[in-house]
Structure 1
Amino acid sequence: MKKTLISALALGLLLAAAGCKKSFLDLQPQATTSADSFFKNQDQVQQAVDGAYAPVRTLGNVDYWVFGELRSDNTTFQYNDSNRGQESQREFVDEFLVSANSESVQEMWQVSYNGISRCNDVLGKIDAVTMPADKKNQFLGEVKFLRALYYFTLVRQFGGVPLRLESVASPTAAKSQGRAPAADVYASIIADLTDAAAKLPTKAAYAAADAGRATKGAANTLLASVYLTQKDYAKAVALLRDVRTGGYSLLPSYRSVFDPANKNNAESIFEIQYLGTQPNISSSFTFIFAPYTSGNIITGDATAPNLGIGSGWNIPTQDMIDAYEAGDLRKTASLALGFTDATGKFVAVPYITKYNFGLAAPGRTDTNFPMLRYADALLMYAEALNEQGFAAGGEAAAALNEVRKRAGLPAKVTTSQTDFRVAVLQERRVELAFENQRWYDLVRTGRAVDVMNAHGTRQKALQTFLPASAYQVTANKLLLPIPQREVMLDNLAQNPL
């Protein structure tokens, strides 16, 4: 019987849990299985492929929103003057004061390369395993998609990074060849996604038990995002035309897109899979994004009446709140302006509601996190078409207005290519709010320095606790510092600070 992807991931967490009866002085570890002895049949390969998804879930819990959303003008943090333990971590990311010694930076680097290593292990061993060709192609496509996803995050955050494309079999082979140029990293990403798209099944071709796995449509959509980042608009348009005919569609209700009852729905192209009934693979965005002063009023968790340092993150900024047009149905589906406390007093600390759908168990929620969805593809398509040439009321406008119509808004009329650029970036901001896209949109469109400095001026007026050095954004600060540990151990060149 086939296991679902999420169940297989849970099983993977147990693979290293076996006991060890021999002396702890034995050099051969007994609690784990080596790659050489493990890859013997199709089931073992599938377990390894499932394990390559697990770091995506880890990154989705914190790192993706810290560096894709909190770092932008969409969100900030609720200042907690009673506990300053996180100040040097997430707060400094928000304030553009993050250093090479940041644990947050180190964690994203390390978890991403853990995922890459798992992909490389599969790619290095799968050819020797006998299995049907279509299943082997599926597994190859999945890990190439995942490896590209990990590298796409790394190259956009750090620039050139070590390009590891083979399994590391010994400590002596762990040292890299140094930071590859960003162009080489992008070339590897494009090669992986092109091959993945050729090998992966369509979403409709998967059995229900395999919902959530990478698909042909996911590979093409991610590749289109890569081309959009590189300003290769013709290739992005061609791929997105294929995605538009791939059976995806907008759901009638915006909020229902994120409802756990609708996981992997018709609008979903790729989403991070969480399972609320299991502590190690559940999500907790309701708790993380709730104001830490809200007790259990927002979370609804009677077993946890108080919140602490783990809450009060990704708080919508006033800039974000003001970005919505009057009548936009996405606003109330995505955020609240505050909460009413136990005394009946309204507390004006905004928070994200997009992922609030109740509890699956105390302390755990069942909400998946969207990474690629059809509305994103439509807006990328509109943007890429416009960059090829403005056409008033043309195909680009139709794609843009398809998204606006679902939000309850009238069609957007633009009169120039420049006006359309502004319109589509604005639409991406509100449609994809709190989905970790905003930072990357600002950087690739060349707006990050100006937007974030202006945003910083407004934040300093609102948040008087911010240091004077906060939000001094320059082109150098668009890339994160390479973790100091990696600089020292792998002799990597540091980014200009």
Structure 2
Amino acid sequence: MKRITKLYVSLASIVLLSACSKDFLSLNPETYVNAENFYRNESELKQAVNGSYSTLQGLGKINYWLFGEMRSDNTTYQNNTTDRGHEAREFIDQFLTSATAEPISQFWQASYQGISRSNEVLNKMEGVALADNIKKQYTGEVKFLRAFHYFNLVRQFGGVPLKKVATSSPDLALSQGRATIADTYDFIIEDLSEAVEGLKGIRYAAQDQGRVTEGAARALLGKVYLTLKQYDKAVEQLKVVTNLGYSLHADYMKNFAPGSKNGVESIFEIQYLGSNPALASDFMYRFAPYNSGFVITQDPSVQLAVESGWNIPTKDLIESYENGDIRKSASLAERFTNANQQVVNVPYIKKFNHGFVTSWQTDVNFPILRYADVLLMLAEGLNELAFSPSGEASIYLNAVRRRAGLSDKTTTSQQEFRAAIMQERRVELAFENHRWYDLVRWGTAIEVMKAHGVREKARGTYIPANAYTITSNNLLLAIPQKEVNLDKLTQNPL
């Protein structure tokens, strides 16, 4: 996907900025690009579709792990006594965040920016001469992306404003208020169902690998149904995915290495390009302890500081790996040796540490949907429908375990199998932003996070006394206060 990755951030920015200023200058030079003289042919429409992907890159670099992983019991943060500039991130980890917190506003705004780009493509597509199959493909791609943004929003905020069409004038910018959670999910399912139909049978050339596929649309639809506890529908979608040619990598670490991007296990991942500062990822810098110098990143030109020490693995997660599980050493390290040859007992994520192109720029993609996730969701759904000690669900669960170097899991009850799935998802998908959402949909988030809070407070006196005081209100984020004020939205209980 390198070819499309190179252009979609700059192209989408040009289109959006030009559209905002179209009243400023009515006569444009021929080289000027705006929403009025763009979208003239298939090539330009494809560039706009590419632009719809670009919002994922910014969200993936901070927001997704901040709200999907650090908000869970999998990771925490390293207390940086030398710089207190990112307390807002710490408050998210501690369940102390407010409606005015900048990270929450950034997450909300970037998600709606992605939705807006999808809406703009859908709006302009009708005016472009396209073959039916191309129109279905582009529609499927942007509807998947729109659904993915709404799925993240509804899981974090509850019912949200549903913006289904492009905003053609300022007076249409305000929403009709928050939709219900049920209506939000109905819209997500509608979008993903149309994406499945539009993407059936699509096979991409090498330069387009990484675009949304039928498998991605079905896998995400299956996850939506699993979240809603509609297990029969989840199983129906996920079983189709098992027949679309995916397989588990023999080497677990290849799922995250730049040399094997978009491989046999990849269903959908955020694409990053290390040679371009606007398109590069930087996970290994952010996830390395801030006092590790360059011994972890191996980048001598960067001495880590305030932007590092995030998403630090918890002791509880580290101890949850079984003996012999190869995923542990592939995913994390428990300590590092600093430049003075001193052992420092601060753990860190290794999963996304694969070298750099230039300082703070890496080629590492971020997985959103992997085949292992599909197998574990399928096993979970089948177990919820009907437990069988050695049935089909066990086959899927144990396929994932064997790849990790572990023996088959034997269970004697539905509850025991459910616990096995919870454990397996935690270690297989560690640091891939699934943990918080899993805890919430399992109904265990309050209990698990209270216990996590006790462990965190035991680590140091720097944690506020009221941290990790978790109730059902904390399962949803506050709606950004400026959105409440401007759009007259109902705030979540605080």
TM-score range, shorter chain: over 0.9
- 1:201 to partner: Cα distance: 4.5
In the alignment, is residue 331 of structure 1 matched against residue 328 of structure 2? yes
Aligned AA (1:276): G
Residue aligned with 2:142, SS: helix
Aligned residue among 406, 412, 420 for 1:423: 420
User: Cα distance, 1:359 vs. partner?
Assistant: 1.0
Secondary structure, counterpart of 1:265 in structure 2: coil
Q: Name the SS for the 1:270 alignment partner.
A: strand
Verify: 1:42 aligned to 2:42, yes or no: yes
- Aligned-residue Cα RMSD (Å) equals 1.9
CA distance in 1, matches of 2:61, 2:201: 27
Match of 1:184 in 2: 183
Q: CA deviation at 1:33?
A: 4.0
Q: Provide the C-alpha distance between the structure 1 equivalents of 2:455 and 2:431, rounded to a whole number of angstroms.
A: 20
Corresponding position of 2:293: 295
**Structure 2: which amino acid aligns with 1:437?**
H
**Which amino acid letter does the alignment assign opposite residue 98 of structure 1?**
T
Counterpart residue number, 2:62: 62
How far did residue 28 of structure 1 move? Answer: 5.3
| Secondary structure class of the residue paired with 1:15 | helix
1:82 is aligned to 82
Report 1:34-433 matches (<5 A).
34-87=34-87, 89-202=88-201, 205-304=203-302, 306-433=303-430
Name the CA distance, whole Å, in 1 between partners of 2:146 and 2:158: 16
SS of 1:142's equivalent in the other structure is: helix
Residue pair 2:297, 2:355 contacting (<8 A) in 1 also? yes
Post-superposition shift, 1:266? 0.3
- How far does residue 10 in structure 1 lie from its aligned partner after superposition? 4.8
CA shift, 1:170, in A, is: 1.0
Structure 1 residue 13, shift from structure 2 partner? 5.7
Equivalent position SS for 1:35: coil
Residues 184-230 of structure 1, C-alpha deviations (whole Å, 9 max, x = no match): 11000000000000111556x11111100000000000000000000
- 3-state SS of 1:38 partner: coil
Looking at structure 1, the residues matched to 349 and 85 of structure 2 have their Cα atoms a distance apart, in angstroms, of 23
Q: CA deviation at 1:11?
A: 4.8
Q: 1:327 and 1:491, CA in 2 relative to 1: closer, same or farther beyond 3 A?
A: same
Shift of 1:361: 1.7
Write the distance in 1 (CA, Å) between the matches of 2:200 and 2:337. 48
The CA distance in 2 between the partners of 1:383 and 1:130, in whole Å, is: 44
Change (3 A) 1:167 1:327: same
Structure 1 158/275 Cα, relative in aligned 2: closer, same or farther at 3 Å?
Answer: same
Q: Which runs of 5+ in 1 are unaligned?
A: none
1:467-482 correspondence runs (5 A): 467-482=464-479
Query: Are the counterparts in 2 of residues 179 and 493 from structure 1 also a CA contact under 8 Å?
Result: yes
**1:16·1:32 contact (CA, 8 Å) conserved in 2?**
no
Q: Does the C-alpha gap of structure 1 residues 184 and 29 become closer, same or farther in structure 2, counting only changes over 3 Å?
A: farther
Q: More displaced, 29-38 or 97-106?
A: 29-38
CA offset digits 1:341-389 (Å, max 9, x no partner)? 1111100010000001111122211000000010000000000000001
Name the aligned partner's letter for residue 390 of structure 2. Answer: G
Offset of residue 25 of structure 1: 9.7
| 3-state secondary structure, aligned to 1:70 | coil
Matched-pair contact (CA < 8 Å) for 1:276–1:282: yes
State the 1:14 CA deviation.
Answer: 6.6
**Per-residue deviation, 1:429:** 0.2
1:378–1:328: structure 2 CA closer, same or farther, 3 Å change rule? same
**Shift in CA distance, 47/328, structure 1 to aligned 2, threshold 3 Å:** same
Read off the aligned partner of 1:272 and give its amino acid letter.
Answer: I
What is the percentage of aligned positions where both structures have the same residue?
A: 54
Q: Deviations over 1:216-268 (max 9, x none)?
A: 00000000000000000000101111000010000001111111000000000
- Answer yes or no: is the 8 Å Cα contact 2:16–2:35 preserved in 1: no
1:323–1:29: structure 2 CA closer, same or farther, 3 Å change rule? farther
Amino acid at match of 2:246: Y
**Which whole-Å deviations, capped at 9, do the CAs of 1:5-54 have from their partners, x for residues lacking one?**
212325526736999xxx99936596974433322111111111111101
C-alpha contact (below 8 Å) 2:12/2:48 kept by paired residues? no
Contact 1:15 1:32 in 2 (8 A): no
TM superposition score normalised by structure 2: 0.96
Counterpart-to-counterpart distance in 2, 1:274 and 1:12: 16
User: Does 2:487 align with 1:490?
Assistant: yes
CA separation of 1:35 and 1:18: change in aligned 2, threshold 3 A? closer
For residues 138-193 of structure 1, give each alpha carbon's deviation from its aligned partner in whole angstroms, at most 9, with x where no partner exists: 10000000000000000000001000000001111100000000111100000000
Report the CA distance between 1:82 and its aligned residue: 1.3
Q: Cα gap change, 1:362/1:235 in structure 2, threshold over 3 Å: closer, same or farther?
A: same
Instruction: Give the Cα separation in 2 of the matches to 1:29 and 1:64.
Output: 41
Amino acid at match of 1:400: L
Q: Indicate how the Cα distance of structure 1 residues 272 and 458 shifts in structure 2: closer, same or farther if over 3 A, else same.
A: same
Contact between 1:193 and 1:220, CA under 8 Å: does it hold in 2? Answer: yes
Partner Cα distance (2:412, 2:350) in 1: 35
**Partner Cα distance (1:46, 1:13) in 2:** 11
How many Å separate the matches in 1 of 2:43 and 2:387? 51
For 2:105, give the aligned amino acid: Q
**Partner SS for 1:217:** helix
Rounded Cα–Cα distance in structure 2 between residues aligned with 1:342 and 1:291? 13
8 Å contact from structure 1 (residues 4, 211) kept in 2: no
Confirm or deny: 8 A CA contact 2:160 2:181 kept in the other structure: yes
Check whether the contact 1:5–1:212 (CA below 8 A) recurs between aligned residues. no
Q: Which amino acid aligns with 1:289?
A: F
Residue 207 and residue 343 in structure 1: after superposition, are their counterparts in 2 closer, same or farther (change >3 A)?
A: same
